[in-house]
Amino acid sequence: MSIIDPRTGNPLTAEQENTSNEEATTAHRSVTPEEVIIELNAGNIQQVLEASMQVPVLLGCHSPSNASDTTLLMMLEKLAVEYAGAFLLGKLDIEANPEIAGQLGVRSTPDVKLVSQGGLVDSIQGALPEKEVREWLNRYFPATGDAPPSPEDQAEEALAAGDAAGAREIYQTLIGQYPEHYAYQIGLARALVAEKRGDEARSVLDNLPPEERDAAPARGVRASIEFSEQALSVEEIASLGDRNDSEARYQRALRHVADSQYETGLEGLLALMKDDRAYNEDAARKTLLQVFDALGADHPLTVTYRRKLFALLY
């Protein structure tokens, strides 16, 4: 079902991101919370559903006694103001309004339903993190041009900029809000590795459920810990001087990987494997596979160097 913008009669979907800056500015005027957020009850629910004929409505069904519900609702309130009237947010306390919750088919909370033209368009359940909620909203509404980066994006930007402590603090906050979203704990472990706190990172990974602990993302962080622990120090690498034997080449490549200079490290490992496959019981190939684990199967470098490894082997 298409969501129709009552101002234009056009489908209200992410394709509207292609509008001009001037149109985007007009569409995303400033609003107050009072203009876009409504407390739902038996006295106004019908009126709000009828309003969905004119503007889409998000029904935020929550239980005040549930902390994760409260976290998600606060996020939706922030987003309702940020999206500046693209949709209304109706907050439904299911404890105070069990009959309405039953009529809407709410079985557990948090439950967010998107209603347009009087009908249900889509819904999401569970305490989802902000990045996932934004991605869901952006299927139907044009993202605001001045939207701030999500906390997840802020953490990744901090890591890329070398601010591991800043990334760690963001992930710690996210873990407090979403303790069962294990990707944040893996992100925390990555930040700890970058801070050279490998033992703490390993402890975070050890406390994950078995299916998460043994999956590729966690294995990748473990590989990063091992790289940092196995690699020679910068001073020790410098002391190798002009040595070009297999051991020196391997140690330089490992140091590059430990310093996140992955492409240089992968290139060095591949070259060593080509020239001296037997070195240290095939250490270059084994380390290449560890780096692929650390980067993840979809990383461009993994894709490129896995192909090069295959070509070398076969």
Q: What residue spans define the domains of the chain?
A: 14-137, 151-229, 231-313
Note the pLDDT of residue 13: 46
Is 151-229 in the same CATH topology as 14-137?
no
Which residue has tokens 């809000």?
Answer: 177
Q: How confident is the model at residue 9 (pLDDT cuts 50, 70, 90)?
A: very low
Structure tokens belonging to residue 232: 């020679």
Per-residue model confidence (pLDDT) at position 294: 83
CA distance 297 to 155: 21
Q: How far is CA 7 from the centre of its chain?
A: 33
The DSSP 8-state label assigned to residue 16 in this structure reads G
Residue labelled with tokens 């819904």: 123
Tens digit of each residue's pLDDT (9 = 90 or more) over 163-191: 999 999 999 999 988 888 899 999 999 99
The alpha carbon of 99 is separated from its chain's Cα centroid by a whole number of angstroms, namely 36
Domain boundaries 14-137, CATH class: alpha beta
- Comparison of pLDDT for 70 and 288, the residue scoring more: 288
| 95 three-state secondary structure | coil
Sole residue written with tokens 């009908």: 119
pLDDT tens readout for residues 82-141: 888 899 999 999 999 999 999 999 999 999 999 999 899 999 998 888 889 999 999 998
- In the predicted structure, residue 150 carries a pLDDT above the cut 80: yes
Q: How far apart are CA 179 and CA 30, in angstroms?
A: 33
CATH superfamily of 231-313: Tetratricopeptide repeat domain (1.25.40.10)
Contact call for residues 149 and 143 (beta carbons, < 8 A):
no
Residue 244 has pLDDT above 80, yes or no: yes
Residue 116's pLDDT is 93
User: What are the respective helix, strand and coil percentages of the chain, to the nearest 5?
Assistant: 55, 10, 35
pLDDT of residue 16: 41
Cα–Cα distance measured from residue 199 to residue 11, given in angstroms and rounded to the nearest whole number: 52
Tokens of 167: 């990334």
Asked whether the beta carbons of 222 and 186 are under 8 A apart, the reply is no
pLDDT at 148: 74
- What pLDDT is recorded for position 12? 46
Q: Does pTM top 0.75 for this prediction?
A: no
Is the pLDDT at 299 greater than 50, yes or no?
yes
CATH of 151-229, one of 1.20.1260.10, 3.30.160.250, 1.25.40.10, 1.10.3720.10: 1.25.40.10
